[in-house]
Structure 1
């Protein structure tokens, strides 16, 4: 017991001298030698048991004095001496990496960086005054702007789908008006649906190239408003498939590379990008697209609008059948009932008993319904196949995104533009020999006197713009919703154009059918919205 007390008293006396020295040093009553060199690291503990206790105390005092002097010098330079601990207990050499960014020159060594890190280089990653008071509008743009609202919230996502429906439906109606004006009711009638479809597809492909280049040039504003996913890739994909061969230069430089070195174009692989592996997947979609366009334009050119719509009344029922058979989609009773009731009301609104038609136009319209209903399903399947070739399995994002980061990635953007590029290019390759073999081109060249009239080509340009808008908007809509919803958009649009073309002077039975069709379309909208919300809730619960 006495030996234990003696040991405790000896230990207290051993540490009393260093502690008294540190207290005097903090009051400023002790001066250190000016020529004393500071050591870079802590000395190792001595293992010499023959050294005396006084020597140990003296070396500890010198060590603590040197460390305190270094701390006070460092703190004086940064005016933050009160934030530093009195005695550092962690070895500087074993310090972990700081989570804050540091300004460090390339010539600075690792030891210098460990010894000295100025407090001015430590900055918070997020400012604390964002979104306060009058800065709410600025915070809206700093948090992603309209893109974050449309793609990161449920209300914004519904608004985005509504805008896509209006865009596709409105552009389809505008394209129908232009085709009607060019082939039937215009000053210069051009009743050659095959040649007209070919010219419109050429204009569509040219517009795809120009718009892609314009979007690359406007990449900075698009990223600022949160629509950076719309910027097409400017470089071809790496040979491995999923990786990107990045390019830090955009705009005019990318356009020049497109002209000279096989970059740019629609999908980043140049104007003449062509991959046999991708073309093999897109070929069925291109065949269906060409047949759909040709049969629809042929039926529209030789039949009145009510008869044209009656011949294509089976688009929605066929889309329901294809969705259940090919996509294995489970359609609830509310969606099925609203779609069929809207189609039946459109049939009553379009029916005319005293209209003379040709059987060719009716047959073309009936067969076009098959390809119109099949086209959105093949479009979505082809797009997903191209995405699967670019990103690993499990990274494919479908449906409503839970945040703005899930809207799309660079691989999905490339797949989107690749789908447009190869579908348009293969369609022109398929349609070119058909136009040559049909003999319409020489007949048009020798017998149409207004080919040199600028107004006629202006109408063709407007028709090509409508074709481009519908062609690109359909892929956006089918990605955001489903093939069935994309096909059903034609039902309320057909009901509206039935009374709009007649300048709203339709008979009462037509008005009744149109009103009931629109009410059923709203029913379909509510049913699909509830179904999408339930599906998204199940997806979130399954995570």
Structure 2
């Protein structure tokens, strides 16, 4: 032990000049940054002196440990006690990082306050705004058209709306033609006037949707906005853009301008589209005329008995024309509900005229045929508007404006426009040749009474509601379902219009009819659920 220590000291003295040369060289090279390397030189000196005195090295070691712990304490006092997660790493995190995308990767280790870390759940939830946040993704339209629960609610609301509006229209027609203070016993002229006012209301409704375009888009109902411009020709310019004299330009704008119902002016008329819609318009005119004639000259039970074949005719026409296949439960529930309505409508000692019976029986065929032709005409118009090679599915489009089908919206408003316009064109010569106008001016003294015109407008509003919503119901369900809505509505209006004073067999028939309608509803819902499952599996 004593012999090795002098050797160490002598070896240290031998290599001492070399250490001094290196230290002098390093000091000369790093003269501007002496403060930066003071700690490093201090460590080198302490390591050299540790060869002479081991006790002094232990003291320096403990001093460095104390300095390190003090620096850690100071850094922990600056940062919050919440552990920060490095979002820049590849590991996933449940919190998004609110930082600018232009921030460099060198700033990942910088301090980030806790307020910049927000969970994926909105802070509005739990503050009384949960209902508003439920429909934020796609709006209310996204809930109706993109979810199974929303789609069921949408179809249910459509069924209630069409059934309720049909019942209201029947009440107004009954009040105008039969039981009102101011009776108007001219069903042909009344039908023409009602359809004319309905066309005016459709124009106003289309203009209203364009005026409320912003709120409708925010709610997710952008597909309900009527088109404002016609379909652009291949050249890119709209029709009627050339300069013409004022009167000619105004007339050209009415027929081939902008606005109106389908975006082509108030009196838009395309011969090719008119040829496609003409069979539907003819069936619609015959249906309305025969129904109003039968209703004007027969009591309500007789009117329903004459039209009892609507649902069986709808089943036959759907199987023949649309090639639809219905299950045995669906057919059984529909036919049993119809038979129960027949049983509830039977009355004794009722005044019956052969005109009302004949008109009611023939009108039932056109009532059953109308939804089928409506769906086929709508599909034809959609196919004519689609670009070459694109095919639409039978399922509803999403509520987003970017992915919604503009061709479907334009085809919907074109169907309404051309059906209403062609119906007026067909009825105009019939009304003029019938002689009702001269009889009305000669025999009706209350044409200047405001209440009479108020009733006429109320009937027109009901006609507009049914006319504009029946296509939505046919699209959402099927022509058979749209026709079957009249069965529970018939049972309900039979109870209401008789003021709950019916014989016992009528009450039994009404109750069994409603039970069968619930059976039909359950079967159609089950079939729709199966189609939804097939659609999800096909994605």
Same fold (TM over 0.5): yes
TM-score normalised by length of structure 1: 0.73
Q: Which has the larger radius of gyration?
A: 2
Question: Are 1:533 and 2:525 matched, yes or no?
Answer: no
- Segment of structure 1 superposing worse, 324-333 or 442-451: 442-451
Q: Deviations over 1:335-391 (max 9, x none)?
A: 000000000000000011311211011000000000000000000000010001111
Query: What is the alpha-carbon distance in structure 1 between the residues aligned to residue 130 and residue 36 of structure 2?
Result: 51
Shift of 1:410: 1.3
Shift of 1:397: 3.4
Q: Does the 8 Å CA contact 1:383/1:415 hold for their aligned counterparts?
A: yes
Residue of structure 1 aligned with 2:307, choices 312, 316, 320:
312
Question: Are 1:413 and 2:437 matched, yes or no?
Answer: no
Shift of 1:79: 7.1
Q: SS of the counterpart of 1:265?
A: coil
Q: Tell me the residue number matched to 1:82.
A: 106
Shift of 1:208: 0.2
Question: Are 1:514 and 2:538 matched, yes or no?
Answer: no
Query: What is the alpha-carbon distance in structure 1 between the residues aligned to residue 373 and residue 305 of structure 2?
Result: 24
Q: Which runs of 5+ in 1 are unaligned?
A: 1-20, 30-77, 86-125, 246-256
Distance 1:386 1:127, change over 3 A: farther
Query: What is the alpha-carbon distance in structure 2 between the residues aligned to residue 407 and residue 160 of structure 1?
Result: 20
Q: Does the 8 Å CA contact 2:223/2:401 hold for their aligned counterparts?
A: no
Q: Tell me the residue number matched to 2:173.
A: 179
Query: What is the alpha-carbon distance in structure 2 between the residues aligned to residue 398 and residue 166 of structure 1?
Result: 23
Residue of structure 1 aligned with 2:497, choices 483, 501, 521:
501
Q: Deviations over 1:383-436 (max 9, x none)?
A: 010001111454423235577679942111111000000000000000000001
Query: What is the alpha-carbon distance in structure 1 between the residues aligned to residue 390 and residue 36 of structure 2?
Result: 66
Q: Tell me the residue number matched to 1:365.
A: 360
Q: Tell me the residue number matched to 1:447.
A: 443
Question: Are 1:355 and 2:350 matched, yes or no?
Answer: yes
Question: Are 1:239 and 2:233 matched, yes or no?
Answer: yes
Counterparts of 1:337-356 in structure 2, within 5 Å, are 337-356=332-351
Please, what is the CA RMSD of the aligned residues?
3.0
Q: Tell me the residue number matched to 1:222.
A: 216
Counterparts of 1:96-135 in structure 2, within 5 Å, are 129=122, 133-134=126-127
Q: Tell me the residue number matched to 1:154.
A: 148
Distance 1:339 1:259, change over 3 A: same
Query: What is the alpha-carbon distance in structure 1 between the residues aligned to residue 401 and residue 255 of structure 2?
Result: 34
Q: Deviations over 1:222-254 (max 9, x none)?
A: 11111111110111112259x998xxxxxxxxx
Query: What is the alpha-carbon distance in structure 1 between the residues aligned to residue 289 and residue 344 of structure 2?
Result: 26
Query: What is the alpha-carbon distance in structure 2 between the residues aligned to residue 401 and residue 167 of structure 1?
Result: 21
Query: What is the alpha-carbon distance in structure 1 between the residues aligned to residue 316 and residue 277 of structure 2?
Result: 23
Q: Tell me the residue number matched to 2:481.
A: 485
Shift of 1:540: 3.0
Distance 1:260 1:370, change over 3 A: closer
Q: Tell me the residue number matched to 1:381.
A: 376
Q: Deviations over 1:427-460 (max 9, x none)?
A: 0000000001111111111111111111111110
Query: What is the alpha-carbon distance in structure 2 between the residues aligned to residue 446 and residue 268 of structure 1?
Result: 41
Q: Does the 8 Å CA contact 2:228/2:262 hold for their aligned counterparts?
A: yes
Q: Tell me the residue number matched to 1:73.
A: none
Q: Tell me the residue number matched to 1:460.
A: 456
Shift of 1:140: 3.1
Q: Tell me the residue number matched to 2:327.
A: 332
Q: Does the 8 Å CA contact 1:258/1:265 hold for their aligned counterparts?
A: no
Q: SS of the counterpart of 1:268?
A: coil
Distance 1:306 1:445, change over 3 A: same
Distance 1:411 1:352, change over 3 A: same
Residue of structure 2 aligned with 1:196, choices 183, 190, 211:
190
Q: Does the 8 Å CA contact 1:289/1:371 hold for their aligned counterparts?
A: yes
Q: Deviations over 1:113-144 (max 9, x none)?
A: xxxxxxxxxxxxx9885775546445334312
Q: Which runs of 5+ in 2 are unaligned?
A: 1-28, 38-101, 110-118, 239-251
TM-score normalised by length of structure 2: 0.73
